[in-house]
Amino acid sequence: MKFGKFKSTKGLNRTFNRIRELGIESNITELNTYGFTVVSPEKVADKEFFDRIRETVLRLCSERTGVEFSVEKNGDFGKYKAQPQSEGQFLLFYLLMADRVFEEWILNPTLYTIIDYLMGGQQQLSSLTSFVKWKGKRDSLGLHSDSPPDRDGHLPACSDVANATYCLTDYTLENGAIAMVPGSHRYCRQPRPGEGEEQAIPVEAEAGSLIAWHGNTWHGAFPKNTDGLRLNVTSYHCHRRLKTQEAYQWRVSQEMLDRNPPEFARLVAADDHMGWDEGGPDYARSLRYLPEDAKKRLAAARKSKAREAAAAG
Ligand SMILES: O=C(O)CCC(=O)C(=O)O
Ligand SMILES: [Fe+2]
């Protein structure tokens, strides 16, 4: 029995086959069962890429704070003001627009495929940030789901958003690992204040790993009790029916679009006609960056429509 070519699952076959090629089937099972997974470094990126992206994040920390950063030293807010900030933590925002290494990152096959699977191919990049963390007290694990809830806290069963963090330092309990409540993606609601803290486990992972989770999974972070930094690149995606956190759609340059494949354009909403002005929607945007299989389906549909019209006379 051969899986991966069924006619009725045309939109899914490519993702299914990529999952197999990358050897990440067990990660998909973990995502479905527990709501999160850890992909080991050798299935994510090579050492050269890891070093390059980590150096870039450290350089941006130094530039934005005005203070020299290294992974061995505790951080410092310096002149950096972007909120939210808490004891021993700030976030670096809008990384995609800061260096080309992040363009490479959002197209990383392992990251892209996992998000593509969770979001059914309808993902846009919502934000690309780095949580920069050093020694600091926390009152709670801060458990939450990343999906925006209804007024009553309910969430849809599907992954309306999906998140993945590229660990740029080791994640251990003492080091302030992410906390996850295994299986909580099935509750389809946000946790109430304090709820789930006892079931939360530390997600321990070596530097270079990718931790990915379903948008409903309850998660937070353990306090960082050790010296030095805990660093990541948090790659947050949302379904194209939602608003993105960071503004890419009308701000990415044509140069960025030209030097990347169509997947990049779709991630940054260059194919999205929503958000128009007095000129009205530009539907051609959607066609410009269609995936090959969708282009073929569209051409076939047009052909059959033309045939019907000819037959009707
Ligand atoms: O690692 C952490 O501090 C938690 C991060 C988080 O909540 C997120 O990336 O959505
Ligand atoms: Fe979160």
- Confirm if 115 and 237 have CB atoms less than 8 A apart: yes
Report the atom number in ligand 1 closest to the C-alpha of 178.
Answer: 1
Instruction: State if residue 146 touches ligand 1 by the CB under 6 angstroms criterion.
Output: yes
The residue whose C-alpha atom lies closest to atom 9 belonging to ligand 1 is 234
pLDDT score at 160:
93
- Residue 60 CA to residue 287 CA, distance in Å, equals 36
pLDDT score at 295:
83
Pocket test for ligand 1, best of 86, 115, 129, 219 (most atoms within 8 A of CB): 219
pLDDT tens-digit map of 66-123: 999 999 999 999 999 999 999 999 999 999 999 999 999 999 999 999 999 999 999 9
Q: Given CA atoms 40, 212, 53, 74 in this order, what sign does their dihedral have?
A: negative
Residue 96 alpha carbon to ligand 1 centre in Å? 18
Instruction: State if residue 126 touches ligand 1 by the CB under 6 angstroms criterion.
Output: no
Calculate mean pLDDT across residues 153-173: 96
The residue whose C-alpha atom lies closest to atom 6 belonging to ligand 1 is 220
pLDDT tens-digit map of 8-46: 998 899 999 999 999 999 999 999 999 999 999 999 999
pLDDT score at 60:
98
Residue 90 alpha carbon to ligand 1 centre in Å? 11
The verdict on whether omega for the bond into residue 291 sits within 30 degrees of 0, i.e. cis, is no
Residue 40 alpha carbon to ligand 2 centre in Å? 21
Instruction: State if residue 163 touches ligand 1 by the CB under 6 angstroms criterion.
Output: yes
Instruction: State if residue 221 touches ligand 1 by the CB under 6 angstroms criterion.
Output: yes
pLDDT score at 290:
86
Instruction: State if residue 15 touches ligand 1 by the CB under 6 angstroms criterion.
Output: no
Per-domain boundaries in the chain: 7-272
- Residue 138 CA to residue 179 CA, distance in Å, equals 13
| Range list of H helices, the chain | 10-22, 25-34, 47-65, 101-106, 109-119, 254-258, 262-267, 284-288, 292-312
Instruction: State if residue 175 touches ligand 1 by the CB under 6 angstroms criterion.
Output: no
Mean pLDDT score of the chain, rounded to an integer? 96
pLDDT tens-digit map of 180-223: 999 999 999 999 999 999 999 999 999 999 999 999 999 999 99
- Residue 91 CA to residue 111 CA, distance in Å, equals 21
Say if residue 293's pLDDT is above 80: no
Report residue 105: phi and psi, to 5°: -65, -45
- Residue 60 CA to residue 225 CA, distance in Å, equals 24
Calculate mean pLDDT across residues 259-271: 97
Ligand lying nearest the CA atom of residue 200? 1
Calculate mean pLDDT across residues 138-148: 95
- Residue 224 CA to residue 48 CA, distance in Å, equals 27
Ligand lying nearest the CA atom of residue 212? 1
Q: Given CA atoms 144, 145, 146, 151 in this order, what sign does their dihedral have?
A: negative
Say if residue 313's pLDDT is above 90: no
Cα atoms in the Cβ-side hemisphere of radius 13 Å centred on 76: 12
Q: Is the CATH number of domain 7-272 2.60.120.620?
A: yes
- Residue 76 CA to residue 62 CA, distance in Å, equals 9
Select from 85, 25, 38 the least CA-distant residue to 180.
Answer: 38
Q: How far is CA 130 from the centre of its chain?
A: 12
